[in-house]
Amino acid sequence: MAAGGVGGAQINSVLQVGQPVEVEVVVAPDGRLVAREVNATTLSPNDIEIIGVLQRFDGTSITVSGQVIDIRGAQINALIPLGARVQVRASLSPQGTWVASERR
């Protein structure tokens, strides 16, 4: 997915260069990620939380709103059908892939 902008986003915190932020995004029709809201956070810069639609599940990975996430080491709290809205917390691996720590 291509990056979009933050020009129209609601910024709820005073931000400083180098500070971790939480960005709520939507996927635009052309596939760009467009920021809706920006907040300061205490999450690691390598952590993300994706809330979206479960599009694919193959036993070792899931696709949520176009993002492929490795779930082999994840804590999975419930059986979730395809098409359901899910929340996934993941970290960026040294190989550049998202690795889930929790899925709800």
What is the CATH number for 83?
2.40.50
Residue 54 backbone phi and psi in degrees, to 5 = -75, 110
pLDDT of residue 79: 81
Instruction: Please provide the average confidence, as pLDDT, over all residues in the chain.
Output: 80
% of the chain at pLDDT higher than 90: 15
Q: What's CA 5's distance to the chain center, in Å?
A: 16
pLDDT of residue 70: 93
Q: How many domains does the chain have?
A: 2
The CA–CA distances, whole Å, from 91 to 38, 59, 67, 82, 101 equal 19, 19, 13, 23, 7
Q: Are residues 53 and 98 in the same domain?
A: yes
Our CA angle for 51, 70, 102, nearest 5°, is 50
Radius of gyration of the chain, Cα coordinates, nearest whole angstrom: 14
Question: What is the tens place of the pLDDT at every residue in 28-76?
Answer: 778 777 888 888 887 777 788 888 889 999 989 999 988 899 998 887 7
Tokens at 80, concatenated: 């979730």
Beta strand extents in 1-104 (DSSP E only): 10-11, 21-27, 33-40, 47-57, 61-64, 67-70, 75-76, 85-92, 98-103
* Containing structural domain, residue 59: 47-103
Q: Are residues 36 and 54 in the same domain?
A: no
Q: Are residues 56 and 97 in the same domain?
A: yes
